[in-house]
């Protein structure tokens, strides 16, 4: 068939790699935070309450009260040099670090599930650049329907509107991947060597999820436990020295236990004076690590009798973190790159 002269050329032959993380507001200001929270908390993967019950509460109460506090917390950790959120800065750096890792035919980009850059915009951009094969890499080590599942929902929604769909791969969770455990071990050892004190406990704090998600079959809790067990084995430590906990609770329902801040308070009251916290469920530092754990949890630990506290960095775009990403993403690109 002869195409019309004005028909645009169709580009093909490239592979797209899209890194995806949770997201953040565009600015540490109330209107931007309100827009972000509205999108985030309207996702039924995140809040599994029927919309007719949840949406009035969200719009009449939560979006009129929570954005002010959340904006103030974002202001504390905002990257002033980049004028951007740490999560977006780090995810961009991870994408840049992979730019030439898989050869000239692989185009690397990143997106946020909530906020900008949006998954839809970046998928369409990759397709326009000639990517007839795209690999989605959700940067969540442990799978949850509220995180990885929500990313894939959005990817499939966008794809459903395409007449010509690219071939699609999705990177599996990497909670127990040897490269992930090795990177966590190396990063932990480096971080501990930099401290001015020797922690008596290393708390492994994962993002919390409602208890009902476990009861309904979500594998997240089990995958967190496995990451913790494998890291303990790699370090040669037991569960007493390296306990697990869950942070970032929301609402009144029961969430996965033990809760991080109460655990730290009990430790301090029981005479454990020196503690460090590592967050192996986060691929990049964000408000939950930089404000909740590095500031709020620290203050609670010290107020209850602790003397020394450290929130250890996530893998981010460190040498260890980038080596891990090249390894696990390389497996997902096998045969394409």
Residue 116: its pLDDT value, please? Answer: 97
Question: Distance between CA atoms of 307 and 268, rounded to whole angstroms?
Answer: 9
Residue 309: its pLDDT value, please? Answer: 98
* Each residue's pLDDT tens digit, 110-163: 999 999 999 999 999 999 999 999 999 999 999 999 999 999 999 999 999 999
Residue 10: its pLDDT value, please? Answer: 67
* Each residue's pLDDT tens digit, 229-249: 999 999 999 999 999 999 998
Residue 11: its pLDDT value, please? Answer: 78
> Which class does domain 178-311 fall in?
alpha beta
Question: Distance between CA atoms of 182 and 178, rounded to whole angstroms?
Answer: 6
Query: Domain segments of the chain: what residues?
Result: 14-174+320-332, 178-311
Residue 337: its pLDDT value, please? Answer: 87
Residue 225: its pLDDT value, please? Answer: 98
Residue 132: its pLDDT value, please? Answer: 96
Residue 56: its pLDDT value, please? Answer: 97
Cα dihedral: 196, 198, 200, 206 (round 10): 60
Residue 239: its pLDDT value, please? Answer: 97
Residue 6: its pLDDT value, please? Answer: 62
Residue 8: its pLDDT value, please? Answer: 60
Beta strands in the chain (DSSP E): 14-23, 106-114, 131-138, 167-170, 201-207, 244-247, 274-278, 308-311
CB-based contact 125:14 (threshold 8 Å): no
Question: Are both 14-174+320-332 and 178-311 of the same fold?
Answer: yes
Give the predicted TM-score (pTM) of the model: 0.95
The closest of 146, 293, 319 to 206, measured between CA atoms, is 293
Residues of the chain predicted below pLDDT 70:
1-10
Residue 169: its pLDDT value, please? Answer: 98
Return the CATH fold of 14-174+320-332: Rossmann fold (3.40.50)
């Amino acid at each position: 068939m002869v195409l019309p002269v004005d028909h645009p050329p169709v580009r093909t032959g490239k592979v797209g790699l899209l890194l995806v993380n949770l997201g953040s507001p565009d600015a540490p200001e109330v209107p931007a935070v309100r827009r972000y929270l509205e999108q985030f908390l309207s996702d039924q993967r995140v809040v599994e309450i029927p919309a007719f019950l949840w949406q009035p509460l969200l719009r009449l109460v939560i979006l009129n009260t929570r954005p002010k506090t959340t904006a103030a917390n974002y202001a504390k950790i905002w990257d002033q040099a980049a004028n951007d959120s740490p999560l977006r800065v780090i995810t961009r750096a991870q994408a840049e670090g992979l730019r030439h890792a898989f050869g000239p035919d692989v185009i690397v980009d990143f997106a946020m599930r909530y906020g900008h850059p949006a998954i839809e915009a970046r998928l369409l951009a990759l397709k326009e650049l000639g990517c007839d094969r795209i690999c989605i890499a959700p940067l969540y080590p442990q799978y949850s329907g509220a995180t990885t599942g929500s990313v894939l929902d959005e990817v499939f929604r966008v794809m459903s509107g395409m007449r010509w769909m690219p071939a699609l791969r999705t990177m599996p969770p990497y909670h127990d991947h040897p490269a992930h455990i090795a990177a966590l071990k190396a990063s932990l050892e480096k971080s501990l060597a930099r401290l001015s004190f020797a922690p008596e406990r290393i708390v492994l704090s994962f993002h919390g999820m409602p208890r009902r998600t476990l009861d309904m079959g979500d594998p997240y809790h089990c995958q967190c436990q496995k990451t913790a067990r494998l890291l303990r084995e790699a370090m040669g430590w037991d569960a007493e020295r390296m306990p697990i906990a869950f942070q970032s609770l929301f609402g009144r329902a029961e969430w996965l236990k033990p809760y991080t801040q109460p655990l730290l308070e009990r430790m301090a009251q029981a005479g454990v004076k020196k503690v460090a916290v590592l967050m192996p469920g986060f691929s990049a530092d964000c408000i939950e690590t930089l404000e909740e754990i590095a500031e709020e949890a620290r203050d609670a630990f010290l107020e209850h009798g602790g003397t020394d506290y450290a929130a250890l960095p996530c893998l981010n775009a460190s040498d260890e973190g980038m080596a891990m990403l090249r390894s696990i993403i390389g497996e997902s690109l096998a045969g394409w790159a």
